């Protein structure tokens, strides 16, 4: 009997020691919203919550990775001195004039003019454009992708790389260790035998250069071919049927001009983070007649600030007439939700376009929890069908378009390495508006009154899922 009492006493002591230690430790090292979620979990399940927090609670990287990113940012700033002739100065009192200096200080990339931008939203056509560019390569092909499957698309990409390597083209491939696990397992040795250099990004392990939080991922999708052309956007190297029966819809920008050197600098930075090898990146690229002003927005846990979140919040606040946000995953933090609310209440037309289908059930429930407040303050929410809308982009007034890999969720803002391309050009914005209108033509518009009538049990489940927003 006494042994049972002693055991119970020890369990009680350990239980409360964990709770108190978590209360003292977590808020000082984690942002407030995430700290609340972790403290709630540890309060209910201390013996489970503490190990999970130690494993996943803080988006930490090894000091060496952080140092390498800092070194890469310095090199990027210095390398752009040779592009001074292409530096673009935004007009005064514009959305761009407020955005450009923030993005440059966060991500190191200045805005450059002299670019051509083509928006590609046909899945098969986008893939074919990439394969054609690889087949036309004469010097090098650099691919950086989150996801690569061992399917027909993965096979087509591998065959194109094999053809390029056989012509003497220098081919380098970076694939996320988790997202592209299937592709790495199937194709890595085959590509290496063909002369293609392949590396897995954030592979984990205990060695210093690989150490970091286990679920940090590189979510970028970038292709750079020779000095002339690059692709950046949401489309992975995989078949369109991401969800069975619901093919993906994506958006990719195919670009020419000085911005190609900047995209290659992002590739070189990630190559350096993973391998320690410094690649030479020439800042000289031929200009394009369209003369579009562009700027890159890289973000990720290796940077000192949440680059993507800060920039998107700023763009929403700067909108004067209309802002359209398109994302497959919408789990906003307080700053994003607050910016959307303030913009809508200020008279800005705020349109949120989401996918009616979602391959992540918990994320879908969490994002449903934010709809009612946004609808109440005038934000328009549309659910696109029948395809899975995996595209990630936004447009502000007639001035700015942003396209890339950035989702509007906490994972993209805090845990993933992401890339965005800002285009300060009314023609590009007009083309994006046309794509947005096409989404809306096949979308269900949510009614505030109808949404409020959903069952009480569903509201409760959504609210509980929202508490896990920091874990998604």
Which residues form the catalytic set? 219, 221, 226, 390, 392, 397
Token readout for 270 is: 């990630």
HEC assignment per residue over 242-272: CECCECEECCEEEEECCHHHHHHHHHHHHHH
Read off φ and ψ for residue 421, nearest 5 degrees: -110, 115
HEC assignment per residue over 47-70: HHHHHHHHHHCCCCECHHHHHHHH
Instruction: Tell me the chain's radius of gyration from C-alpha atoms.
Output: 23
C-alpha distances in Å from residue 186, one per residue of 143, 148, 217, 300: 17, 10, 20, 28
Whole-angstrom Cα distance, residue 81 to residue 77? 7
Residue whose C-alpha is closest to residue 323's, from 350, 291, 287, 356:
350
Q: Which residues pair with residue 345 across a beta bridge?
A: none
Whole-angstrom Cα distance, residue 150 to residue 187? 8
Whole-angstrom Cα distance, residue 363 to residue 458? 14
C-alpha distances in Å from residue 57, one per residue of 95, 148, 179, 330: 36, 28, 21, 21
Token readout for 411 is: 């994972």
Cβ–Cβ under 8 Å, residues 231 and 92? no
Q: 3-state class of 141 per DSSP?
A: strand
Whole-angstrom Cα distance, residue 329 to residue 411? 10
Pair type for strands 252-256 and 112-120: antiparallel
Segment holding 144, helix H or strand E: strand 140-145
Tokens 């609310």, residue located: 341
Whole-angstrom Cα distance, residue 299 to residue 426? 25
Distance from chain centroid for Cα 152? 25
CA angle 344, 348, 353 (to 5 degrees): 70
Pair type for strands 393-396 and 322-326: antiparallel
What is the DSSP annotation of 159-185? Answer: HHHHHHHHTT-EEEEEEETTTTHHHHH
């Amino acid at each position: 009997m006494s042994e049972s009492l002693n055991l119970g006493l020890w369990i009680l002591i350990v239980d409360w020691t964990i709770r108190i230690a978590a209360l003292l430790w977590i808020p000082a090292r984690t942002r407030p919203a995430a700290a609340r979620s972790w403290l709630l979990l540890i309060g209910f399940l201390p013996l489970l919550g503490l190990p999970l927090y130690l494993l996943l609670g803080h988006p930490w990287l090894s000091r060496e990775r952080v140092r390498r990113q800092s070194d890469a940012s310095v090199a990027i700033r210095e390398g752009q001195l040779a592009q001074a002739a292409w530096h673009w100065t935004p007009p005064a009192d514009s959305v761009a004039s407020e955005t450009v200096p923030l993005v440059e200080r966060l991500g190191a990339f200045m805005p450059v003019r002299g670019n051509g931008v083509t928006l590609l939203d046909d899945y098969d056509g986008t893939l074919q454009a990439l394969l054609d560019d690889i087949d036309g390569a004469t010097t090098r092909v650099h691919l950086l992708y989150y996801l690569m499957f061992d399917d027909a698309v993965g096979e087509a990409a591998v065959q194109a790389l094999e053809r390029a390597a056989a012509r003497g083209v220098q081919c380098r491939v970076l694939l996320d260790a988790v997202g592209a696990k299937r592709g790495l397992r199937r194709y890595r040795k085959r590509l290496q035998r063909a002369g293609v250099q392949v590396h897995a990004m954030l592979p984990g392990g205990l060695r210093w250069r690989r150490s970091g939080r286990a679920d940090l991922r590189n979510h970028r999708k970038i292709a750079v071919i020779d000095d002339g052309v690059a692709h950046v956007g949401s489309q992975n190297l995989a078949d369109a049927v991401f969800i069975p029966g619901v093919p993906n819809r994506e958006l990719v920008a195919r670009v020419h001009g000085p911005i190609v050197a900047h995209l290659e600098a992002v590739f070189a930075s990630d190559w350096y983070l993973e391998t320690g090898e410094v690649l030479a990146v020439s800042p000289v690229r031929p200009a394009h007649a369209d003369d579009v002003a562009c700027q890159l927005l890289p973000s990720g846990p290796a940077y000192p600030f949440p680059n993507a979140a800060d920039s998107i919040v700023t763009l929403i606040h700067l909108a004067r007439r209309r802002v359209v946000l398109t994302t497959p995953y919408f789990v906003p933090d307080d700053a994003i939700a607050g910016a959307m609310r303030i913009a809508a209440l200020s008279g800005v037309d705020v349109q949120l376009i989401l996918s009616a289908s979602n391959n992540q059930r918990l994320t879908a429930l969490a994002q449903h929890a934010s709809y009612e407040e946004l609808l109440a303050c005038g934000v328009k929410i549309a659910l696109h069908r029948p395809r899975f809308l995996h595209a990630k982009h936004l447009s502000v007034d007639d001035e700015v378009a942003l396209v890339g890999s950035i989702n509007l969720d906490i994972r993209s803002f805090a845990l993933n390495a992401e890339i965005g391309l800002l285009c300060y050009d009314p023609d590009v914005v007009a083309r994006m508006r046309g794509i947005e209108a096409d989404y809306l033509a096949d979308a269900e518009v949510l009614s505030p009154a109808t949404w409020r009538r959903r069952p009480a049990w569903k509201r409760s489940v959504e609210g509980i899922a929202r508490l896990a927003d920091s874990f998604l």
